[in-house]
């Protein structure tokens, strides 16, 4: 499974009402570090399929949601569980660090 595009209008349904945890990547087309972590997020979406949904929200196209959650810098990754923001990381990081962060929050590959 690949990453899922989310917008201001779909955020509640796709993220807040999701049955499984959702890792939301707040990004923008012009953001170099955002593009740098995109392949890692695609891999994580496949590797952790069934355990977590990886969603991406373009802050330019959907400015209301980042504003609501106080996103100040990008990339910002927020983990939502049961409709609540459970954890947040700001800045680009290697795939392994993202996986370690997710493991700390109880999300691991179901293989």
Active site residues: 31, 34
Query: Beta strand 22-27 with 4-6: parallel, antiparallel or unpaired?
Result: unpaired
For residue 83, CA distances in Å to 11, 19, 28, 79 come to 10, 9, 24, 10
CA–CA gap between residue 73 and residue 75 (Å, rounded) = 6
- Tokens of residue 100, six digits: 């370690």
- Helices within 15-91 (DSSP H only): 32-47, 64-68
**Beta-carbon contacts of residue 101 (< 8 Å; ≥ 6 apart):** 87, 89, 93
């Amino acid at each position: 499974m690949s990453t899922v595009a989310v917008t201001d209008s779909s955020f509640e349904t796709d993220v807040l009402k999701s049955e499984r945890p959702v890792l939301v990547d707040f990004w923008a087309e012009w953001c170099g570090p955002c593009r740098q972590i995109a392949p890692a997020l695609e891999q994580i979406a496949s590797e952790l399929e069934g355990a977590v949904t990886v969603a991406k929200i373009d802050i330019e196209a959907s400015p209301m949601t980042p504003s609501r959650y106080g996103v100040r810098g990008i990339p910002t990754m927020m983990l939502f569980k049961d409709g609540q923001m459970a954890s947040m990381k700001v800045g680009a990081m290697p795939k392994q660090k993202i996986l370690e962060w997710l493991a700390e929050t109880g999300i691991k590959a179901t293989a």
